[in-house]
Amino acid sequence: MIEFKLPSLGADMDEGVLLEWKIKPGDPVKKGQVVAVVDTSKAAVDVESWQEGSVAELLVAPGERIPVGTVLATFLQPGESPGAARPVPAVAEAPKPAAPPSMAGVPAAAAAARRMASPAARKHALEQGIDIDAIIGTGPHGTVTLQDVELAAKAKSVAKPADKSAEMRKAIAAAMARSKREIPHYYVAETIPMAAALAWLAQENAQRPMTERLLPAVLLLKAVAVGLQRYPELNGFFRDGAFQPAEKVHLGVAISLRQGGLIAPALLDAGGKPLTRLMQELMDLVQRCRAGSLRSSEMSEPTITVTNLGDQGTEQVFGVIYPPQVALVGFGRITERPWAENGGLKVIPAVTASLSADHRVSDGHRGALFLVELRDLLQCPEELSR
């Protein structure tokens, strides 16, 4: 028996609201399959299963607010029979009083054979487009009642209520306050010439169809990911009083949302992917982020965050680290600046990169070296493209 628990979908998440089940009892479950949608107060996140099996029982109903770590469902391991002992459900069932005599005719076995739902519940579920099999029944014999469906319908619409932005503000406040409370930040910055990078991008984009054109942002992201390979103390998590370096670079990309607030899902293994692929993934991520359909792995796995102000921004940004990460790289606007070189003055496009890092894990000296590395990498854009 496998217990499927609510994972933490970000450091600031203590609880979530189950919005929807994508599975029902009896369904096979594969690794990486999206099995549920959970509202984390920042977004509706598709939660994946990392285990294989078949669904034995759903223990939580859509609409319920549940702490991280709650057993949401049980899966049978391949080969395991449903007869195996059940673990105690997350929400303990109160012993039911004996049913009134008129209900005695309902065979207990019917519950297992077919989902019991009242006619009104079925009708309402149909009208609302809700899968009745994914609802936990609270009526007699576990029957799904109209109220159960109404609750599930309400939960379904929770993704877009008016106070969503307030919820998000709260989540950001909690994470950022924790960061400034716990993490001794240090800051370094470096202005990086972008003439070579922009020239290479212009040449590259001239050969590409519109839809596959590269943005400067993707080059910056790739440079960060590559640069971090030699500065592992900036990439990972500070947990329980110790630093845990991460094996790969999962870049958290800060994406501002139109309705306000921001979210920083991960570009997974950004260092190991060619630019074209990274660009596609970035576009996809931004799109899904704004549509509110992120995957749980993207939410929970960023090992470092990059904030890129882009065309609309200021020249510099010094970010607040997103715990339990240990560093944040910020890029200001790429803009033309006076530039002194070899005793002469000229005008070149440049960008200011900053690093906010956790002094418990790294020192300013190493942080500065990382920014210098970043600068050098961006002078050879063709090498970053691979």
Partner 1 sequence: MSRRITYREALREALREALASDPRVFLMGEDVGRYGGTYAVSKGLLEEFGPERIRDTPLSELGFTGAGIGAALGGMRPIVEIMTVNFSLLALDQIVNTAALYRHMSGGQFSVPLVVRMATGAGRQVAAQHSHSFEGWYAGIPGIKVLAPATVEDARHMLAPALADPDPVVIFEHAGLYNLEGDLPDVAGVDIRSAKVRREGRDVAIVTYGGSLFKALQAAETLAAEGIAAEVVDLRVLRPLDDATIMASVARCRRVVIVDEGWHGVGLASEIMARIVEQAFYELDAPLVRVCSAEVPIPYAKHMEDAALPQADKIVAAVKGFFP
Q: Which chain residues interact with partner 1 by CB under 8 A?
A: 96-97, 99-100, 102-103, 106, 118-123, 138-140, 143, 145-147
CB of 124 to partner 1, least distance (A): 9
CB of 102 to partner 1, least distance (A): 4
CB of 122 to partner 1, least distance (A): 8
Q: What one-character DSSP code corresponds to residue 332?
A: -
CB count, 10 Å around CB of 113? 8
If the CB atoms of residues 124 and 164 are measured against partner 1, the closer one turns out to be 124
Two tokens, residue 253: 């990309």
If the CB atoms of residues 140 and 232 are measured against partner 1, the closer one turns out to be 140
Rounded Cα distance between 45 and 20, Å, is: 10
Alpha-carbon distances, residue 36 vs 6, 46, 151 (angstroms): 10, 6, 17
Selection from 231, 224, 236 nearest residue 308 by Cα: 224
CB of 19 to partner 1, least distance (A): 23
8 Å CB contact between 342 and 158? no
Q: What are 256's strand-pairing partners?
A: 262
Q: In what order do the strands lie in the sheet with 44-48?
A: 65-67, 15-21, 34-39, 44-48, 294-295
Two tokens, residue 322: 């997103």
Where residue 175 falls (left for φ over 0; alpha for ψ -120 to 50; beta otherwise) is alpha
CB of 151 to partner 1, least distance (A): 13
If the CB atoms of residues 100 and 209 are measured against partner 1, the closer one turns out to be 100
8 Å CB contact between 309 and 328? no
If the CB atoms of residues 99 and 380 are measured against partner 1, the closer one turns out to be 99
If the CB atoms of residues 99 and 347 are measured against partner 1, the closer one turns out to be 99
If the CB atoms of residues 93 and 240 are measured against partner 1, the closer one turns out to be 93
CB of 121 to partner 1, least distance (A): 6
Give the burial class of 206: count Cβ atoms within 10 A of its Cβ; 0-12 exposed, 13-18 middle, 19 or more buried. Answer: exposed
If the CB atoms of residues 125 and 221 are measured against partner 1, the closer one turns out to be 125
CB of 64 to partner 1, least distance (A): 18
If the CB atoms of residues 121 and 220 are measured against partner 1, the closer one turns out to be 121
8 Å CB contact between 16 and 38? yes
Of the chain, the end-to-end C-alpha distance in Å amounts to: 44
Helices (H), 145-303: 146-157, 164-182, 195-206, 216-228, 275-291, 296-300
CB of 20 to partner 1, least distance (A): 22
If the CB atoms of residues 151 and 289 are measured against partner 1, the closer one turns out to be 151
8 Å CB contact between 55 and 23? yes
If the CB atoms of residues 121 and 326 are measured against partner 1, the closer one turns out to be 121
CB of 205 to partner 1, least distance (A): 59
Residue with tokens 């904030």: 307
CB of 157 to partner 1, least distance (A): 21
CA 67 to mean position of chain CA atoms: 17
Selection from 60, 287, 23, 17 nearest residue 161 by Cα: 17
